[in-house]
Amino acid sequence: MRFPAACPHCQREVQVEFADSAVHDVTCPHCHTRFCVFVRKQKFEVLFDLGTRALMDGYAREAVASFAAALERFFEFYVRSFALERAAAQGQTDFDGAAGTLESTWRHVSSQSERQVGMMALAYLLREGREPDFLTAKALGADFRNRVIHRGYLPRREEVDVYAARVFALIDRLLGELGTGAAHAELAQERQFAAHLAALPNGVTAVFEEHPGMFRARRFAGAGGEKLGVKNLYGQPARASAPAQSSSAKTAAPMNDAQAFQKALKERGPLLKGLRK
């Protein structure tokens, strides 16, 4: 899948293929100059948006695969956020050291999804002090996912809508509970960007982009999703979730999972159409 980026030299549109690292070294096909695009977006966000794009294009089975992968990568994001948040709360000031220890620990489970779920369960228990009720097979839609991914089942659009809404609601809920804790994992991405930026040759322009998606606009205050000026416990700039509404504000009736997903799809769908295969 590709996303559009404007060449900083000739201003013409370039289709850039998503990179696993969120760092994209590009040579403009029009003016042949080099530039580097850093996309401030976590992997689970990219995967969910790609699933949404596939669903909008009518590729139901492919959408399920992307939504399932998005949930797995979100669990990893949650564990990383919790581990770095806890390290900061315990007084560790060496962020790179804490991140390195986390990385070496994650390698033990990086190819074993069941163990990753186990780490997610423990991280949630330690952080929230209660059982992770969302990790049952029914809550995760595991049977439907396995039929599609492993047994070749061809799902109907309505079934994928239900699964997508389930995954969306769970990630949205857990992001809300993480709050500013998510900034710790996001800081790790920023530091990776900084290392790549420092190694760029002279004459290569760096472009930082923050793509709107299904979760990002809901997390950050302001219609444009601009960053908020908070600092995490390492003293680094970070982003925070939107402040809660005043108790005097009129509250709407709560939406179910499907309604919340369809609302987000309506709001962000036109922007996701910029993605290309």
Q: Do 168 and 264 meet the contact criterion of CB atoms below 8 Å apart?
A: yes
Which tops the pLDDT comparison, 212 or 217? 212
Q: Point out which residues pair with 38 in neighbouring strands.
A: 23, 208
For β-strands 13-17 and 23-27, DSSP reports them as unpaired
Domain locations along the chain = 2-242
Q: Which residues pair with 127 in a beta bridge?
A: none
Greater pLDDT, 273 or 103: 103
What's the pLDDT at 220? Answer: 60
141-156 pLDDT tens trace: 999 999 999 999 999 9
Distance in angstroms (rounded) separating the CA atoms of residues 246 and 228? 18
What is the per-residue pLDDT across 51-68, written as a single tens digit (0 to 9) for each?
A: 999 999 999 999 999 999
Tens digit of pLDDT for each residue in 104-130? Answer: 999 999 999 999 999 999 999 999 999
Collapsed DSSP state (helix, strand, coil) of residue 26: strand
Dihedral angle over CA of 200, 206, 216, 105, nearest 10: 10
**Predicted pLDDT at 166:** 96
pTM: 0.84
DSSP single-letter state for residue 276: B
Token output for 15: 């289709």
